[in-house]
Amino acid sequence: MERKSFVEALQAVGLRATHPRLHVLRVLHTAAVPLSVDDIVEQSTESLDRVTVYRCLEALAQARLVRQVDLRKNHSLYELFDEHDHHHIVCTSCGVIENFVGCDVAALSESALRRSTLFSNINDHALELFGVCNSCTT
């Protein structure tokens, strides 16, 4: 997504393309891994305060342009919403993050629903894997 399509993406979900929102989207776009509010403030080329960034992320997450990720750190992480489902493997020793695809959510949902007495449909999922990376093992 380039600048023009960020404007379009915001307009498509009924959000005004404010400067901070565009800026937060751009920082997340260039990041290879999910970022915290502090990461975004730090990596920002313009001065945005934490409250502004946090408010932007809240609005963007509600509009499903940004996804909140829980990687068991003591702060939330955020990344651009990805129409191709992906998840993360996190090193519990150094914190390095690798993406992975192919969680087979369709099969998992089906088997969960077969056993479920309370639900007949699933519309979202969250899954993160944790381990010790190769460089921390050797």
Cβ pair 65, 80 in contact under 8 A: yes
Token output for 30: 């260039």
Q: Quick one: 62 or 95, whose CB is closer to Zn ion?
A: 95
Q: How near is the Cβ of 47 to Zn ion at its closest, in Å?
A: 27
Q: Quick one: 11 or 132, whose CB is closer to Zn ion?
A: 132
Cβ pair 58, 98 in contact under 8 A: no
Q: Quick one: 94 or 112, whose CB is closer to Zn ion?
A: 94
Q: Where are any strands of DSSP class E within the chain?
A: 66-69, 77-80, 87-91, 97-100, 128-131
Match 């690798």 to its residue by tokens.
Answer: 98
Residues 6+ apart with CB under 8 A from 128: 69, 70, 71, 72, 87, 88, 89, 90
Nearest to 31 by CA among 44, 17, 50, 15: 44
Count residues binding Zn ion (CB under 5 A): 10
Using CB under 5 A, which of the segments 9-17, 57-65, 95-103, 116-124 binds Zn ion?
A: 95-103
**Is residue 136 within the footprint of Zn ion (CB under 5 A)?**
yes
Q: Which of 80, 91, 109, 128 binds Zn ion (CB under 5 A)?
A: 91
Using CB under 5 A, which of the segments 5-13, 39-47, 86-94, 106-114 binds Zn ion?
A: 86-94
Q: Which of 94, 108, 113, 129 binds Zn ion (CB under 5 A)?
A: 94
Footprint of Zn ion on this chain (CB under 5 A)?
A: 79, 85, 91, 93-94, 96, 103, 105, 133, 136
